[in-house]
Amino acid sequence: MYHQDWLMRQIEILVRYVASLWLGKGDELRSDIHLESEPQTSGDARTLDYRLSALVGEEQLCRAEDLLFEAVEEGDPEALSAGLRFYSDLNRLPDETLERCGFPRDEILSGLQSLCDAYGCDLSVLGV
């Protein structure tokens, strides 16, 4: 239980750090990348955010992560912010849901680190 709480907090800190430093989101972070909101269920079906949210809603977490990294490889300009939102959304899911989907909480941290690495975000200042 303690490890999971610690891990959830680490993920939250990493998301906020990267959003603040690399995306220039400060006080407006919450509204701009919806870190505290429910996954997006409406919007343009072509956006990466919408597609990731839809897959999360369908509990296809691994497929959503694959889609995210395909967008990263293709140079999609919204991939970093969409990825931060994606991992933040996953971090709010219950452990039971994550396990049922074959996506343990440690995988969220690992994926977030991979996303940051892809953009050259230096997380070493946070001890990661």
45: which DSSP letter? Answer: T
**pLDDT computed for residue 127 by the predictor:** 63
Query: Which of 11, 9, 1, 3 is CA-nearest to residue 110?
Result: 11
* pLDDT mean across residues, the chain: 81
Confidence of residue 89 (pLDDT cuts 50, 70, 90): very high
User: Taking the chain, what is the end-to-end CA distance rounded to the nearest angstrom?
Assistant: 21
Name the residue ranges covered by the structural domains of the chain: 2-126
- What's the whole-model pTM score? 0.77
